Amino acid sequence: MGNLPGQLFGGAVVLMTPHSRGSVKLASKNPFDAPLIDVGFLTHEFDIAALREGVRIMKRFYSSTLFADYIASPVAPDPDVLGDEAWAEFTKSVAVSTLHGVGTAAMSAKGARTGVVDPDLTVKGVKGLRIVDASVIPFVPSGHSMAHVYILAERAADIIRSCL
């Protein structure tokens, strides 16, 4: 986007429910070795398509007569002109996480091969260890994650209390 003279007006498109999935794995049996982290950022084609549609909606909004006197031209590529592959490359080069990550120790059904914790928040295959934080939320919630963490913590307190 280069050197942009003058004033800018912008907006952001936020992908609230990404389909891309990453992974966190042990690098070795040594607990001091850093884990292998693959964020899997924008690896699902739906995520790229959804962001493209979001930019199209924003483009229509900013193209309205309300903004006619304020916007001379867009500074980002036009999602209706750029080809699919070029759009995907552009999106991956400018997209950022909006924080509040979840799911790095995702909860899954008891006995399921996927996930890190069971519904009672115990770590699969480890006796006496529970995880009670945003990492067990399996999918990104459509909203700030803190409310979900409060609910999770209250539920965890009930679960732990029932085991005493």
CA angle 6, 11, 14 (to 5 degrees): 150
What type of residue sits at position 19?
H
Residue of 19, 44, 100, 148 marked active site:
100
Is 100 catalytic? The answer is yes
Is 148 catalytic? The answer is no
Token pair in block for residue 108? 């899954």
Angle of helix 84-94 versus helix 45-62 axis, rounded to 10: 90
Residue 136 burial (CB count, 10 A): 26
Hey, what's the torsion of the CAs at 144, 150, 155, 160, to 10 degrees? Answer: 130
Residue 107 burial (CB count, 10 A): 21
Task: Give the active site residues.
Answer: 100, 144
